[in-house]
Amino acid sequence: MKVAVVGSGGREHAIIKKIKENPEVEIIYALPGNGGIAADAKCVDVGAKDIEGIVKFSKENEIDYVVVAPDDPLVMGAVDALEAAGIPSFGPRANAAIVEGSKVFSKNLMKKYNIPTAAYETFDDTDKALEYVETCPIPTVVKADGLALGKGVIIAMTRDEAKEAVRSIMLDKQFGASGNQIVIEEFMEGPEITVLSFTDGKVVKPMVSSMDHKRAHDNDEGLNTGGMGTIAPNPYYTKEVADTCMEKIFLPTINALNAEGRTFKGCLYFGLMLTKDGPKVVEYNSRFGDPETQVVLPLLKSDLLTIMQATTNGTLAETEVEFMDGYAACVIMASDGYPENYEKGYEISIPEEVSNMVFVAGAKIADGKLLTNGGRVLGCSGIGKSLEEAIENAYKVVDQVHFDNQYYRHDIGQRALKAIR
């Protein structure tokens, strides 16, 4: 089989390494991939948002299955375009990827189908939004409607901050057209849990739960980032919470999308908060999380490609989705200065013995050398029988990987360990 994976991050590297385990796979192309992914796949110079280019490449190279990993191409209709060309692919069509593409859409969907989430109002008029924040409960959360590289959420601790957030999103267009509409919602408190789930639109099979670490620095200080590390499973996700989520959130979401004529196939990402009133949805994403994937897939026992194909074919009910009993941790090694300004171009060394647990995100090859080329450079994962062991193993990999100007958090998993103890 010939497989193509669209995207260029650590998540895509983890997906590619897992797909490689299937003996029927002859070749994997990465569109466009990166310098580190090049060790495991053939990188092709087709951008992840170049839908026409993706279809053209897949047709010309007789690709049997395409995995569309990032949000942008999914929201832009990559799966629809591939389907029209007769090429099976992993991911939702555009009309279902809208659960991530529009927060106004997803909030309205949850309200209509009684899926627990923060109370909210939506606005397309700046004056009305400003008037609303004069009297709404504080803190409050202001969100741009559309995709904003995970940055379109502002938690306002004061009324002035809320007004400032409304102005910067709606008037200054800090996130471009994504801010034409906004959601202003209730501030929730509690531990956060990510659950990635496979679905074919009929059944939903959750993967092992995980916990992200979004802030740049130790002790959850510093700016929000795309994610500085993850652990799995998440200790807050007990059997009881899982059962509640299945009954009140996962199945109702799949059913709601079906009822709206927007059947979701692929990986549906549930961003959850365990509030004192039970689990509530913070956000949906229409794809695998990054860096959640780097801890979830190393624990997957079943064959990833077979499961992905089952979501496309509608045969997920009879397909095995099994995880190991252990734990996993992933530590992101970034360029110092990320998520603001940082330097690039430093040589990276990844010893062969640990390369299987290193997922490269921001790197390029120049003159035969692997060089840093992004904010989040790579993720180092470890697995173990206990969470302590998994964390220790992830940091052992970190110790063996080198590049100058590196920065990483030293406390990945500590929050979860506290919850267990």
Residue ranges that bind ligand AMP, judged by CB under 6 A: 118, 141, 150, 153, 155, 185-188, 192, 271, 282-283
- For residue 175, CA distances in Å to 170, 182, 282 come to 9, 11, 20
Question: Closest separation between CB of residue 144 and ligand GLY, Å?
Answer: 15
Alpha carbons 168 and 158: distance in angstroms, whole number: 15
- Which does residue 72 bind out of ligand AMP, ligand GLY, none, counting CB within 5 to 8 angstroms by kind? none
Position with the least CB separation from ligand AMP: 283
Block residue for tokens 């087709």: 46
Cβ closer to ligand AMP: 117 or 373? 117
Alpha carbons 148 and 308: distance in angstroms, whole number: 27
Residue-wise DSSP of 96-137: HHHHHH-HHHHHHHHHHTT--B--EEEES-HHHHHHHHHHS-
Question: Closest separation between CB of residue 266 and ligand GLY, Å?
Answer: 14
Among 50, 145, 200, 292, binds ligand GLY (CB under 6 A): 292
Cβ closer to ligand AMP: 188 or 383? 188
Cβ closer to ligand GLY: 36 or 291? 291
Cβ closer to ligand GLY: 166 or 361? 361
- Which does residue 141 bind out of ligand AMP, ligand GLY, none, counting CB within 5 to 8 angstroms by kind? ligand AMP
For the chain, the 3-state helix, strand and coil shares in percent, each to the nearest 5, are 35, 30, 35
Q: Give the residue among 230, 229, 226, 231 at the shortest CA–CA distance from 374.
A: 226
Cβ closer to ligand AMP: 114 or 313? 114
Cβ closer to ligand AMP: 233 or 382? 233
DSSP single-letter state for residue 318: G
Residues that contact ligand GLY, how many (by CB under 6 A): 7
| Residue 285 touching ligand GLY (CB under 6 A) | yes
- Which does residue 395 bind out of ligand GLY, ligand AMP, none, counting CB within 5 to 8 angstroms by kind? none
Question: Closest separation between CB of residue 177 and ligand GLY, Å?
Answer: 20
The C-alpha angle 214, 220, 223, rounded to 5 degrees, equals: 60
Among 47, 53, 88, 150, binds ligand GLY (CB under 6 A): 150
- For residue 258, CA distances in Å to 35, 116, 202 come to 40, 18, 9
Please say whether the beta carbons of 297 and 13 come within 8 A: no
Among 40, 145, 290, 303, binds ligand GLY (CB under 6 A): 290
Q: How far from chain centre, in Å, is Cα 86?
A: 27
Cβ closer to ligand GLY: 292 or 303? 292
Cβ closer to ligand GLY: 175 or 346? 175
- Which does residue 187 bind out of ligand AMP, ligand GLY, none, counting CB within 5 to 8 angstroms by kind? ligand AMP
Please say whether the beta carbons of 286 and 99 come within 8 A: yes
Alpha carbons 85 and 88: distance in angstroms, whole number: 9
- Which does residue 290 bind out of ligand AMP, ligand GLY, none, counting CB within 5 to 8 angstroms by kind? ligand GLY
- Which does residue 71 bind out of ligand AMP, ligand GLY, none, counting CB within 5 to 8 angstroms by kind? none
- Which does residue 285 bind out of ligand AMP, ligand GLY, none, counting CB within 5 to 8 angstroms by kind? ligand GLY
Sequence-distant contacts of 151-160: CB under 8 A, at least 24 apart: 151/175, 151/224, 152/178, 152/179, 155/187, 159/133, 159/134
| Residue 40 touching ligand GLY (CB under 6 A) | no
Alpha carbons 361 and 164: distance in angstroms, whole number: 33
Which residues lie near ligand GLY (CB under 6 A)? 150, 212, 227, 285, 289-290, 292
